Amino acid sequence: MTPRRTPVATANRTITAQEAVLCVPPQVQDTPVSRLPNPTWAATSPEYRHALFSAAQGGHIGCIELLLRATGRPLAEFANEHDELCEKMLCAAARGGHIDVPSLLLDDPQLQLDVNAQGFGAVSNGSALHIAATRGDTALTKILVDRYGADVDLAADESFRKCPYEIAARAGHTETLKFLLSVSAREDAVTNAFHSASRGAQLGIMAWLVARYGAKLPP
């Protein structure tokens, strides 16, 4: 069955929610959001909420603004709804390596989104920071920690209860690991990272840990 396509009116023609997410039509790309018409969309419809999620997943800030404009509802109004859409958007954006979307969500004073939110099934095996560590996304890792206070010592609900630095070590992401260890408050962080690197056969990480933290490692 072909999914129903919800239209959005523009000055020249009508586009669908899917096209809005992809930002395909030139008139959508070139028209400021504030000047777009204000069609009525059902914010509770699965298609609309999937479009918001897909826009976050793709890092399309302009499309998120367009979709919100279509209903006139701020993101904060979605925070109290049962499916935790905003948390899923945060994790999806982190998985795609998109810095702007997490900033949009976490900077919203009305939304008050928990940067350490985790446990959304297929969307995430941890928080946004766990996802950034898995990808070796050092830039996003630093922003989540330095700007938004993400907990580097938080064990994931899944992934065998690993902290972000353990995940980075096992995946072989040296620069991300260096930063995470520099801000960790746990005395066993280096040892745990070493064990994770060993399990992942990351010889380069292990050699760096020995050279940098030899005294903190077990004999």
Q: What is the CATH number of the domain that holds 188?
A: 1.25.40.20
pTM: 0.78
In angstroms, the first-to-last Cα distance of the chain is: 62
Q: What's the structural domain count of the chain?
A: 2
119 inside domain: no
132 inside domain: yes
DSSP-assigned states of every residue in 60-108: -HHHHHHHHHHHT--GGGGTTSTT-HHHHHHHHHHHTT-SHHHHHHHT-
- Asked whether residue 104 falls in the same domain as residue 156, the answer is no
- Asked whether residue 154 falls in the same domain as residue 204, the answer is yes
- Asked whether residue 102 falls in the same domain as residue 154, the answer is no
- Asked whether residue 83 falls in the same domain as residue 186, the answer is no
15 inside domain: yes
Enclosing domain of residue 128: 124-219
Q: What is the pLDDT along the chain (219 residues), one digit of tens a residue?
A: 444 444 444 434 444 555 554 543 344 444 444 444 444 556 667 777 788 888 888 888 888 888 887 777 787 777 666 558 888 889 989 999 999 999 999 998 888 889 998 866 454 568 999 999 999 999 999 999 999 999 999 988 665 668 999 999 999 999 999 999 999 999 999 999 999 999 999 999 999 999 999 877 876
200 inside domain: yes
Strand partners, 16: 7
- Asked whether residue 135 falls in the same domain as residue 90, the answer is no
Q: Where do we find the tokens 């745990």?
A: 192
185 inside domain: yes
110 inside domain: yes
